[in-house]
Amino acid sequence: MKKNIVLFVLFVLPIVAYLFFASGVNSFTTLPVITPKIADFGNWKSLNSKKVSLDKKITVLGFSGSDILNNRGNYFNLNEKIYKRYNGFEDLQFVVLCPIGTEKEAQKIIDALSPFTDVKNWNFVFASNEDIQKFYDQLHLKGKLDKNLGTSNVYIVDKERNLRGRKGVAKDQKEEYKEGYNTFHPSELSNEMLDDFKIILYEYRAALKKNHNATKQL
């Protein structure tokens, strides 16, 4: 009997704990869709001149606004809490949509991050004020961009260009809605966003495993 208890504590309990925390505190088995099939980017230039698309990528999407340097601490928070943890995931990208004319400021952010971070999956994309507002409006979010066309929130977009978040009943039975994650608050990134991000990654890993098993059966 003692032997069975020891085996349970050593092997079964850690697995149960892992599954609990990996599932996220919001208790969703999948992360709900807030806005389905959002538009892809236009033919907009990125900082390194490569084409950036939302298709077939898990995207953490942000809007810098013209006041990008004054909000640089938000990018450091996001880099430390989320980016560095998952940068090795090949289908992941971080994209910040910026007004044309802020290229030098965006480069300063990259230059500040690069000494201690592999910045290859950081993408700063530039568009006109009108295009940025139009792109944001089609997300159909409750939050609004500020007067500089920026927000401290970032958003999770899946590979099918669905904007994901929380839209359901939380554990305390209160209605829970969350469309974005505030980069000004490291605790929100470490808790809510990290929980939800784990769910997205779990969905895709489960889908890959299912497809792999189906291929083996064929």
The pLDDT score that the predictor gives to residue 143 is 95
The pLDDT score that the predictor gives to residue 205 is 81
CA distance 218 to 215: 5
The pLDDT score that the predictor gives to residue 210 is 62
> 149-203: per-residue pLDDT in tens?
999 999 999 999 999 999 865 555 466 899 999 999 999 999 999 999 999 988 8
89: burial class by Cβ within 10 Å (0-12, 13-18, 19+)?
middle
CA distance 111 to 83: 16
The pLDDT score that the predictor gives to residue 216 is 38
Q: Where are the domains of the chain?
A: 2-217
**Domain 2-217: assigned CATH number:** 3.40.30.10
The pLDDT score that the predictor gives to residue 17 is 46
Per-residue pLDDT of the chain (218 residues; tens, 9 = 90+): 655 554 554 555 555 444 444 444 444 478 999 999 999 999 999 998 889 999 999 999 999 999 999 999 999 999 999 999 999 888 999 999 999 999 999 999 999 999 999 999 999 999 999 999 999 999 999 999 999 999 999 999 999 999 999 986 555 546 689 999 999 999 999 999 999 999 998 888 887 776 544 433 33
Phi and psi (nearest 5°) for 83? -60, -50
The pLDDT score that the predictor gives to residue 176 is 81
pTM of the full structure: 0.82
The pLDDT score that the predictor gives to residue 33 is 96
Largest CA distance in the chain: 71
CA distance 175 to 155: 20
